[in-house]
Amino acid sequence: MKERELRRSMAVLPIGTVMKLTDLSARQIRYYEEQELIFPERSDGNRRMYSLNDIDALFDIADLLQEGNNIADIKEIYAKRDAKKAQTLSIGEVHHALEREFAQQGRFGTPNPTHFTQPRM
Protein backbone atom coordinates (compact mmCIF):
# COMPACT_ATOMS: atom_id res chain seq x y z
CA MET A 1 0.00 0.00 0.00
CA LYS A 2 1.35 3.41 -0.90
CA GLU A 3 2.14 5.83 1.90
CA ARG A 4 -0.64 8.20 0.83
CA GLU A 5 -3.20 5.39 0.81
CA LEU A 6 -1.95 4.26 4.19
CA ARG A 7 -2.40 7.74 5.65
CA ARG A 8 -5.91 8.06 4.18
CA SER A 9 -6.88 4.79 5.84
CA MET A 10 -5.62 5.79 9.31
CA ALA A 11 -8.56 6.16 11.70
CA VAL A 12 -7.85 9.39 13.57
CA LEU A 13 -11.07 11.41 13.53
CA PRO A 14 -13.72 11.16 16.27
CA ILE A 15 -17.40 11.18 15.36
CA GLY A 16 -17.85 14.83 16.41
CA THR A 17 -15.32 15.96 13.83
CA VAL A 18 -16.89 13.73 11.19
CA MET A 19 -20.30 15.24 11.96
CA LYS A 20 -18.93 18.75 11.39
CA LEU A 21 -17.16 17.78 8.17
CA THR A 22 -20.10 15.91 6.63
CA ASP A 23 -23.17 17.69 8.07
CA LEU A 24 -24.48 14.27 9.11
CA SER A 25 -25.85 13.42 12.54
CA ALA A 26 -24.21 10.85 14.79
CA ARG A 27 -27.29 8.68 14.28
CA GLN A 28 -26.93 8.79 10.48
CA ILE A 29 -23.24 7.93 10.68
CA ARG A 30 -23.91 5.00 13.05
CA TYR A 31 -26.75 3.82 10.79
CA TYR A 32 -24.40 3.66 7.81
CA GLU A 33 -22.03 1.65 9.97
CA GLU A 34 -24.87 -0.72 10.96
CA GLN A 35 -25.64 -1.13 7.25
CA GLU A 36 -21.96 -2.03 6.68
CA LEU A 37 -21.34 0.89 4.34
CA ILE A 38 -18.50 2.26 6.49
CA PHE A 39 -16.17 0.49 8.89
CA PRO A 40 -14.73 2.80 11.55
CA GLU A 41 -12.11 1.48 13.90
CA ARG A 42 -12.46 1.54 17.67
CA SER A 43 -10.07 3.27 20.03
CA ASP A 44 -8.81 1.70 23.24
CA GLY A 45 -11.74 3.42 24.97
CA ASN A 46 -14.14 1.83 22.40
CA ARG A 47 -14.81 5.17 20.66
CA ARG A 48 -15.38 5.13 16.92
CA MET A 49 -12.48 6.61 14.97
CA TYR A 50 -12.84 7.49 11.29
CA SER A 51 -10.36 7.75 8.44
CA LEU A 52 -10.34 10.09 5.47
CA ASN A 53 -11.55 7.14 3.40
CA ASP A 54 -14.55 6.85 5.74
CA ILE A 55 -15.26 10.57 5.22
CA ASP A 56 -15.13 10.08 1.44
CA ALA A 57 -17.53 7.14 1.73
CA LEU A 58 -19.95 9.23 3.80
CA PHE A 59 -19.94 11.99 1.17
CA ASP A 60 -20.45 9.34 -1.50
CA ILE A 61 -23.37 7.80 0.42
CA ALA A 62 -24.99 11.22 0.90
CA ASP A 63 -24.63 11.97 -2.83
CA LEU A 64 -26.11 8.61 -3.82
CA LEU A 65 -29.05 9.10 -1.46
CA GLN A 66 -29.64 12.59 -2.85
CA GLU A 67 -29.70 11.10 -6.36
CA GLY A 68 -32.63 8.92 -5.27
CA ASN A 69 -30.85 5.68 -4.41
CA ASN A 70 -31.82 3.77 -1.28
CA ILE A 71 -29.52 1.82 1.05
CA ALA A 72 -30.06 -1.43 -0.88
CA ASP A 73 -29.09 0.35 -4.12
CA ILE A 74 -25.96 1.74 -2.48
CA LYS A 75 -24.97 -1.71 -1.20
CA GLU A 76 -25.37 -3.06 -4.73
CA ILE A 77 -23.29 -0.19 -6.17
CA TYR A 78 -20.57 -0.85 -3.58
CA ALA A 79 -20.66 -4.61 -4.29
CA LYS A 80 -20.12 -3.93 -8.01
CA ARG A 81 -17.23 -1.57 -7.22
CA ASP A 82 -15.65 -4.18 -4.96
CA ALA A 83 -16.05 -6.88 -7.62
CA LYS A 84 -14.40 -4.64 -10.20
CA LYS A 85 -11.51 -3.91 -7.81
CA ALA A 86 -11.09 -7.65 -7.17
CA GLN A 87 -11.08 -8.30 -10.92
CA THR A 88 -8.44 -5.61 -11.43
CA LEU A 89 -6.31 -7.19 -8.72
CA SER A 90 -6.69 -10.57 -10.38
CA ILE A 91 -5.50 -9.17 -13.71
CA GLY A 92 -2.53 -7.63 -11.92
CA GLU A 93 -1.75 -10.98 -10.34
CA VAL A 94 -1.91 -12.66 -13.76
CA HIS A 95 0.41 -9.98 -15.12
CA HIS A 96 2.98 -10.71 -12.41
CA ALA A 97 2.66 -14.47 -12.90
CA LEU A 98 3.31 -14.06 -16.63
CA GLU A 99 6.32 -11.88 -15.94
CA ARG A 100 7.70 -14.56 -13.61
CA GLU A 101 7.04 -17.23 -16.25
CA PHE A 102 8.81 -15.22 -18.96
CA ALA A 103 11.75 -14.68 -16.63
CA GLN A 104 11.86 -18.42 -15.90
CA GLN A 105 11.78 -19.25 -19.62
CA GLY A 106 14.60 -16.78 -20.20
CA ARG A 107 16.77 -18.71 -17.77
CA PHE A 108 16.27 -21.87 -19.85
CA GLY A 109 17.22 -20.28 -23.18
CA THR A 110 13.74 -19.30 -24.36
CA PRO A 111 13.59 -15.69 -25.57
CA ASN A 112 12.34 -13.34 -22.89
CA PRO A 113 10.09 -10.50 -24.11
CA THR A 114 11.64 -7.18 -23.22
CA HIS A 115 8.30 -5.59 -22.55
CA PHE A 116 5.02 -7.04 -21.42
CA THR A 117 2.07 -4.66 -21.23
CA GLN A 118 -0.95 -5.19 -19.09
CA PRO A 119 -4.24 -5.31 -21.06
CA ARG A 120 -6.48 -2.28 -20.72
CA MET A 121 -9.97 -2.54 -19.36
Provide the mean pLDDT of the chain: 86
Average pLDDT (40-67) is 96
Decide: pTM greater than 0.75: no
CATH of domain 3-68: 1.10.1660.10
Q: What is the pLDDT of residue 114?
A: 54
Residue 92 CA to residue 94 CA, distance in Å, equals 5
- 65 Cβ contact list (under 8 Å, min separation 6): 74
Q: Is the pLDDT of residue 50 over 90?
A: yes
Paired residues of 41 in beta bridges:
49
Residue 109 pLDDT level (bands cut at 50, 70, 90):
low
